[in-house]
């Protein structure tokens, strides 16, 4: 018997949509690939933010994440760094597609930086991005807080989330 199931975490086209949501939400034109990947992870799995080592001023994120635990999906997925690593191929494919279409700079992408070029999204897509973010205000609050942290070091996103190795970061 063959069993197929779909999960947006492993869909490159869904990753493009999520990357656009993140970019528009945090208003950035340039971000490290690893930071974008981590933010993408928490956009999909906001309840997992309850395990992040947060600064004192951001402890509200933990309460929000605990409240979101009831919205967990049915799928049995690995946790933490194993899941982020399984998401890597679809995230990479999404970024490569965006580079091919001229949405991100392909030269900087090779250096680990996602730089969004000036581009205009179709009105219908902009509307859908805005609607989806409005549907998930708690998730977007988590993203707002996490996006303010730097990527590197023990107090950066890599160290606080334990999703990626941070001990060898140049800080």
First to last CA, the chain: 51
Per-residue pLDDT of the chain (171 residues; tens, 9 = 90+): 666 678 899 999 999 999 999 999 998 889 999 999 999 999 999 999 999 999 999 999 999 999 998 877 666 777 888 999 999 999 999 999 999 999 999 999 999 999 998 877 889 999 999 999 999 999 999 999 999 999 998 889 998 998 877 666 665
User: Which pTM value belongs to this model?
Assistant: 0.91
Q: Is 113 helix (H, G, I), strand (E, B) or coil?
A: strand
């Amino acid at each position: 018997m063959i069993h197929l199931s779909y999960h947006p975490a492993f869909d490159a086209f869904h990753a493009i949509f999520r990357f656009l949501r993140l970019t528009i939400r945090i208003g950035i034109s340039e971000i490290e690939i690893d930071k974008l990947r981590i933010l993408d992870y928490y956009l999909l799995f906001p309840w997992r933010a309850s395990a992040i080592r947060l600064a004192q001023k951001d402890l509200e994120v933990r309460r929000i994440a605990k409240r979101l635990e009831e919205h967990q999906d049915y799928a049995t997925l690995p946790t933490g760094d194993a899941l982020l690593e399984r998401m890597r191929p679809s995230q990479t494919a999404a970024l490569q597609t965006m580079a091919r279409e001229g949405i991100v700079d392909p030269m900087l992408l090779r250096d680990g930086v996602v730089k969004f070029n000036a581009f205009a999204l179709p009105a219908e897509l902009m509307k859908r991005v805005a609607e989806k973010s409005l549907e998930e205000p708690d998730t977007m609050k988590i993203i707002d807080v996490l996006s303010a942290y730097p990527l590197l070091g023990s107090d950066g996103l890599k160290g606080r989330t334990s999703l990626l190795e941070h001990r060898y970061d140049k800080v």
